[in-house]
Amino acid sequence: MEGKKLAATLQVQLIEKVKTLKTTPSLCVILIGEDPASKIYVAHKQKACQAVGIAVQLIKLPSTTSESVLLSRIDELNQDDSQHGILVQLPLPKSINTLTILKKINPHKDVDGFHPINIGLLAQGQPHFQPCTPLGILQLIDHYDIPVKGKHAVIVGASLIVGKPMALQLLDRDATVSICHKETKNLATMVAQADILVSAVGIPNLIKGDWIKPGSALFDVGITRLKDNTIAGDIEFTKAKEKATWITPVPGGVGPMTVAMLMRNTVMACENTYSLEANTHR
Ligand code: NAD
């Protein structure tokens, strides 16, 4: 599956949509500390914003930033009507409680979809902002017409940002969902049952090619930077490709779709601001 190509197509659609808006959508990204991977991800997000026509502001804070300082910066952005989307790049330094921070972001500006209200709406089957990585996988599923209803979807990795929301989304589409994690016994047996497999762990070659069910759809979310500076996913790509009908490469699969969905959510945040304003004036 060509995530990069689909993301580019979606980007063109968003560029056209942004041209029709009366206000330029805006996104504020908060980056704390010097994590090299986070810096790369933020750079990708900034570049995509510029391409789509979203005004992007980067707030860089030192790794020593206290939780209370970060909370008050978020509060300022929550109050600032010119900011449509707020994103705090994860992971945060250990001294800061991630859930406390995510809860502080105004749910109407929560373009990452991690606020408890947005996760709750997703759990109720009434999603508003949805986490970008699993949302990007849903786009690939739709684009490639991959059957989901009644299929067994196995998700490896149970994080808030990928595994858990992915499980809710696939459940909502009537898949039978299994979630595996680091304590799961016999991962091979679980993976062998998967019509749809989503792996989001970050261990290269964790998922062996000979575990794969013939005809399945494989989504490799894992990103690990190797010593030679190349990037590896979780799935043994070459062997798995022989058995699967659909497979995402790493890089160029799920990653670009994640960024495209962030752009989509930010444009949606801008549009929602209009409707909120419209309601206020009525
Ligand atoms: P995380 O560390 O929060 O969660 C990892 C999950 O993997 C946990 O649920 C853990 O129980 C599980 N796990 C660990 N070892 C395991 C094992 N041996 N067998 C089965 N499960 C195991 O990670 P995350 O933030 O969800 O990210 C996971 C990976 O996805 C990382 O490589 C990250 O870089 C990548 N990622 C990629 C994108 C993208 O856009 N492509 C987006 C987000 C994360």
Cβ–ligand 1 contact at 132 (below 6 Å): no
pLDDT value of position 277: 60
Q: Is residue 243 over pLDDT 90?
A: yes
Query: For residue 165, what pLDDT is reported?
Result: 98
- Measure the CA–CA gap between 147 and 151, rounded to whole angstroms: 7
**Residues recognised as catalytic:** 45, 89, 112
CB 223 near ligand 1, within 6 Å: yes
282 pLDDT above the threshold of 50: no
**What tokens does 216 get?**
């399945």
Which residue has the CA at smallest separation from atom 14 of ligand 1?
Answer: 182
Residue 63 Cα to ligand 1 midpoint, Å, equals: 23
Would you give the DSSP letter of residue 93? P
pTM of the model: 0.97
The encoded tokens of residue 31 equal 């980056």
Structure tokens that stand for 142 in this block: 């739709």
DSSP H helical ranges for the chain? 3-20, 36-52, 67-79, 98-104, 116-123, 132-143, 163-172, 187-192, 237-243, 254-281
Q: Is 202 in the pocket of ligand 1 (CB under 6 A)?
A: yes
SS3 17: helix
Is any ligand 1 atom within 6 A of the Cβ of residue 261? no
- Quick one: pLDDT band at residue 272, thresholds 50, 70, 90? confident
Identity of the residue numbered 252:
G
Query: What residue owns the CA closest to ligand 1's atom 42?
Result: 133
In the predicted model, what is the mean pLDDT of residues 85-102? Answer: 97
pLDDT above 50: residue 53 = yes
% residues pLDDT > 90 (the chain) = 96
Closest atom of ligand 1 to 250 CA is: 41
Q: What is the mean pLDDT of residues 148-165?
A: 98
Which neighbouring-strand residues pair with 110?
86
Mean pLDDT score of the chain: 96
CA 52 to CA 18: how far, in whole Å? 7
- E strand or H helix that includes residue 110: none
Question: Predicted confidence band at 281 (pLDDT cuts at 50, 70, 90)?
Answer: very low
Instruction: Name the residue of 99, 219, 221, 262 whose CB sits within 8 Å of the most ligand 1 atoms, as the mutation to test its pocket.
Output: 221
Q: Which of 97, 106, 105, 172 is nearest to 134 (CA)?
A: 172
At 279, is the pLDDT very low, low, confident or very high (cuts 50, 70, 90)?
Answer: low
Strand 231-232 relative to strand 217-220: parallel, antiparallel, unpaired?
A: unpaired
Report the pLDDT value the prediction gives residue 273, as an integer from 0 to 100.
77
Question: What's the confidence (pLDDT) of residue 184?
Answer: 98
Q: Compute the average pLDDT of residues 97-119.
A: 98
268 φ, ψ (degrees, to nearest 5)? -65, -40
CB 1 near ligand 1, within 6 Å: no
Is residue 181 lining ligand 1, measured as CB closer than 6 Å? yes
Q: Measured from the CA of 258, which atom of ligand 1 is nearest?
A: 40
Per-residue pLDDT tens over the stretch 23-45: 999 999 999 999 999 999 999 99
Q: What is the DSSP letter of 165?
A: H
**How many CB atoms are closer than 10 A to CB 128?**
18
Q: Is the CB of 47 under 6 A from ligand 1?
A: no
Residues 147 and 172: their CA atoms lie apart, in Å, by 13
Instruction: Write down the residue that tokens 């979310």 correspond to.
Output: 221
pLDDT value at 220 more than 50: yes
Mean pLDDT of 225-237: 96
Ligand 1 pocket: which of 1, 39, 162 to mutate (most atoms within 8 A of CB): 162
